[in-house]
């Protein structure tokens, strides 16, 4: 019986081999043809290894915000207001489709971005101290805004008194998150999703230094004294520390937990009262605190939230060493109370939150916040003698308001759809909350901080997304984005809620006022 089976198998062998050989060249050539197409048409700008160059990185993590059909359209038609040409004349439809499919595949070898690559990427255009120290424009340097325009990857420097643009300049592709200022407001650091950090001298309106910290970066933080910059990466799993003067690399921290498992880093923030950076890890249940050196001279008190004269140190971890704080759940999106005693984090499942004491590492409260609270957009204010915080939800038409002493949700406001950003100012009676998702994304709610009710819903332009607000330094005027390619920032009077001016811009996303950001104003993002 066994002999018979063997004989049949041997007779079938040539047939099977022929069939396999017939299939093999097709599979191999399909792969190599796509790779060859990439090498011929794409690699010069996007890099041989898809890590980016003149154009952005083309790896699945970096493309997570672009749908494959949209990627095909970009390859076919190009991207307006960028250097990406259309390839409709050179490539057949199936070639475009195969390229678009291929760039969403993980590379066979995980790309590397370590110390050598970071060092090699650094470009210092104007070494620190070589440019003049006085602003080359006539405007209050502390009431400037930077507006990030994601439509064509530019930023605009805006006078916060007259609301006239001072300078519009090209940025790296796909900036994300808030740019961070030095405490004197002279320099600003931008972070791009592809990992580039750009230091820009506002007074001289020049890019002074750049470095690439990673391949897929989350955000950056700047120490309260403006001397250090920390970058948080998804790829590679790392935090990277730089000297802010010329963006010189100081240290790469592989994001590896106590248990040896490595993790993406959700984000990193500066905690001025603690004198440290705080980072949350997405895949391990730890928060990291990394102290920077204490100032040798007193730090000047900076206004409302007032950075203390010298940061209090509640622990004795040496400078730039990691203090691991074990937490009971993975922290993704998070927020802090004003003195940075507690971190308020949304857990990875998006069905709730928790409050952790950063000194003891103890969880002090659970927050019943289903519907993906977007705690990173949280803001705080005084309400009936106590401090409250409010957060929008990414998948629920609601704003939750939480008492920051009892950690109870004291109000859930129903909104016209899930929102992304909230903003206020200590001098304003109102909170502004956008409706970023769904059919009502053209609406913005204005919430009274004392009645905790929506008192006005504005529709600046029907059918067009209105989102993200930032106040001027006095809390008297504010900017709202008409978040479209042919969009605008709209100037409102913060008291009367009347529109005063529109400044055309290309998909303006975040707007950042120098005073509010450097003073850690309670109504703005940190
Ligand atoms: Fe953001 C800030 C994470 C999607 C626009 N976003 C941040 C920050 C984090 C974050 C951690 C804080 C960084 C900082 O300022 O230091 N964002 C995430 C996500 O995890 C999420 C949901 C998915 C992702 O793709 O990363 C996400 N973000 C978006 C967008 O789709 C937005 C709307 C458009 C875009 O440009 O990508 C967007 N995020 C922003 C903006 C800020 C931001 C404008 C700064 C807000 C501020 O006022 O400071």
The DSSP secondary structure of 304-373, one letter per residue, reads SS---SS---SS-PPTTPPEEEE-SS-EEEEEE-TTSSEEEEEETTSS-EEEEETTT--EEEEE---S-B
Q: Give the β-pairing of 499-505 and 487-493.
A: antiparallel
Sole residue written with tokens 């507006």: 147
The CB of 420 under 6 Å from ligand 1? The reply is yes
| Distance in Å, CA 177 to ligand 1 centroid | 5
Sole residue written with tokens 């079938």: 12
- Residue of 216, 230, 376 to mutate, ligand 1, most atoms within 8 A of C-beta: 376
Point out the ligand 1 atom lying closest to the alpha carbon of residue 268.
Answer: 16
**CATH fold match for the domains 17-102 and 379-516:** no
Ligand 1, atom 44, lies closest to the CA of 510
Sole residue written with tokens 């320099």: 187
| Distance in Å, CA 247 to ligand 1 centroid | 23
Ligand 1, atom 11, lies closest to the CA of 267
Ligand 1, atom 40, lies closest to the CA of 177
| Distance in Å, CA 72 to ligand 1 centroid | 25
Ligand 1, atom 8, lies closest to the CA of 177
Point out the ligand 1 atom lying closest to the alpha carbon of residue 509.
Answer: 44
The CB of 491 under 6 Å from ligand 1? The reply is no
Give φ, ψ of 287 to 5 degrees: -110, 140
The CB of 501 under 6 Å from ligand 1? The reply is no
In the CATH hierarchy, which fold is given to the domain comprising 379-516? Methylamine Dehydrogenase; Chain H (2.130.10)
Ligand 1, atom 9, lies closest to the CA of 177
Nearest one of 406, 407, 376 to 391, comparing CA atoms: 376
Q: What's the predicted TM-score (pTM) here?
A: 0.89
| Distance in Å, CA 129 to ligand 1 centroid | 32
Ligand 1, atom 7, lies closest to the CA of 177
The CB of 376 under 6 Å from ligand 1? The reply is yes
DSSP element (H, E) containing 23: helix 2-41
| Distance in Å, CA 176 to ligand 1 centroid | 6
SS3 390: strand
- Rounded CA-CA distance 126/204 in Å is 11
What pairs with residue 277 in β-bridges?
270, 290
The CB of 178 under 6 Å from ligand 1? The reply is yes
The CB of 347 under 6 Å from ligand 1? The reply is no
Nearest one of 274, 336, 320 to 299, comparing CA atoms: 274
| Distance in Å, CA 221 to ligand 1 centroid | 14
Assigned CATH class of 17-102: mainly alpha
Ligand 1, atom 43, lies closest to the CA of 177
Identify the pLDDT of residue 80: 74
Q: Structural domain boundaries of the chain?
A: 17-102, 379-516
| Distance in Å, CA 217 to ligand 1 centroid | 11
SS3 186: coil
Per residue of the chain (526 residues), what is the pLDDT tens digit? 444 443 444 444 444 444 444 444 444 445 689 989 998 999 988 988 898 877 888 988 888 778 888 999 999 999 876 788 999 999 999 989 999 999 999 888 888 999 999 999 999 999 999 999 999 999 999 999 999 999 999 999 999 999 999 999 999 999 999 999 999 999 999 999 999 999 999 999 999 999 999 999 999 999 999 999 999 999 999 999 999 999 999 999 999 999 999 999 999 999 999 999 999 999 999 999 999 998 765 544 444 344 444 677 767 788 999 999 999 888 888 899 999 999 999 876 667 889 999 999 999 999 989 899 999 999 999 999 999 999 999 999 999 999 999 999 999 999 999 999 999 999 999 999 999 999 999 999 999 999 999 999 999 999 999 999 999 999 999 999 999 999 999 999 999 999 999 999 999 999 999 999 999 999 998 7
Point out the ligand 1 atom lying closest to the alpha carbon of residue 221.
Answer: 16
The CB of 177 under 6 Å from ligand 1? The reply is yes
Tokens at 79, concatenated: 């991207």
The CB of 218 under 6 Å from ligand 1? The reply is yes
- Residue of 177, 181, 374, 487 to mutate, ligand 1, most atoms within 8 A of C-beta: 177
- Rounded CA-CA distance 63/75 in Å is 14
Point out the ligand 1 atom lying closest to the alpha carbon of residue 218.
Answer: 11
| Distance in Å, CA 148 to ligand 1 centroid | 12
- Residue of 146, 176, 266 to mutate, ligand 1, most atoms within 8 A of C-beta: 176
């Amino acid at each position: 019986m066994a002999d018979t089976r063997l004989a049949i198998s041997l007779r079938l062998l040539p047939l099977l081999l022929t069939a396999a050989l017939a299939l093999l060249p097709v599979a191999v050539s399909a792969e190599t043809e796509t790779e060859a197409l990439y090498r011929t048409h794409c690699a010069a700008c996007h890099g041989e290894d898809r890590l980016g160059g003149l154009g952005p990185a083309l790896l699945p993590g970096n493309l997570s915000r672009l749908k494959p059909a949209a990627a095909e359209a970009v390859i076919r038609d190009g991207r307006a207001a960028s250097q990406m040409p259309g390839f409709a004349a050179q490539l057949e439809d199936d070639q475009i489709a195969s390229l678009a499919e291929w760039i969403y595949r993980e590379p066979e070898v995980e790309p590397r971005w370590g110390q050598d690559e970071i060092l090699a990427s650094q470009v210092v255009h104007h070494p620190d101290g070589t440019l003049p120290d006085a602003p080359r424009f006539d405007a209050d340097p502390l009431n400037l805004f930077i507006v990030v325009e994601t439509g064509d990857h530019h930023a605009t420097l805006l006078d916060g008194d007259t609301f006239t643009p001072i300078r519009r300049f090209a940025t790296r592709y796909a900036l994300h998150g808030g740019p961070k200022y030095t405490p004197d407001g002279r320099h600003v650091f931008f972070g791009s999703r592809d990992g580039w950090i750009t230091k820009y001298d506002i007074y001289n309106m020049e890019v002074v230094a750049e470095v690439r910290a990673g391949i897929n970066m989350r955000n950056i933080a700047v120490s309260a004294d403006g001397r250090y910059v920390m970058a948080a990466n998804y790829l590679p799993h790392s935090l990277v520390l730089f000297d802010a003067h010329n963006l010189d690399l100081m240290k790469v921290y592989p994001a590896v937990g106590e248990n040896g498992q490595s993790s993406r880093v959700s984000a990193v923030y500066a905690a001025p009262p603690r004198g440290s950076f705080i980072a949350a890890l997405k895949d391990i249940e730890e928060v990291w605190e990394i102290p920077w050196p204490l100032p040798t001279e007193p730090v000047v008190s900076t206004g409302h939230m007032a950075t203390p004269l010298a940061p209090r140190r509640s622990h004795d971890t040496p400078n730039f060493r990691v203090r691991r704080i074990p937490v009971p759940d993975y922290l993704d999106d998070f927020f802090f109370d004003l003195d940075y005693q507690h971190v308020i984090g949304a857990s990875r499942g998006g069905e709730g939150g928790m409050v952790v004491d950063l000194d003891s590492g103890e969880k002090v409260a659970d927050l019943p916040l289903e519907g993906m609270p977007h705690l990173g957009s949280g803001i705080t204010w005084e309400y009936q003698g106590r401090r409250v915080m409010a957060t929008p939800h990414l998948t629920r038409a609601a704003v939750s308001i939480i008492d920051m002493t009892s950690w109870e949700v004291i109000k859930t406001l129903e909104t016209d759809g899930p929102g992304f950003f909230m903003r206020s100012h200590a001098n304003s009676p109102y909170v502004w909350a956008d409706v970023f998702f769904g059919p009502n994304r053209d609406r913005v709610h204005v919430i009274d901080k004392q009645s905790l009710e929506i008192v006005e819903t504005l529709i600046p332009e029907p059918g067009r997304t209105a989102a993200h607000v930032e106040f001027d330094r006095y809390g008297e005027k504010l900017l709202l984005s008409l978040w479209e390619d042919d969009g605008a920032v709209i100037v409102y009077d913060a008291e009367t809620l009347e529109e005063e001016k529109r400044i055309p811009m290309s998909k303006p996303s975040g707007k950042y006022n120098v005073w509010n950001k450097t003073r850690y104003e309670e109504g703005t993002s940190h």
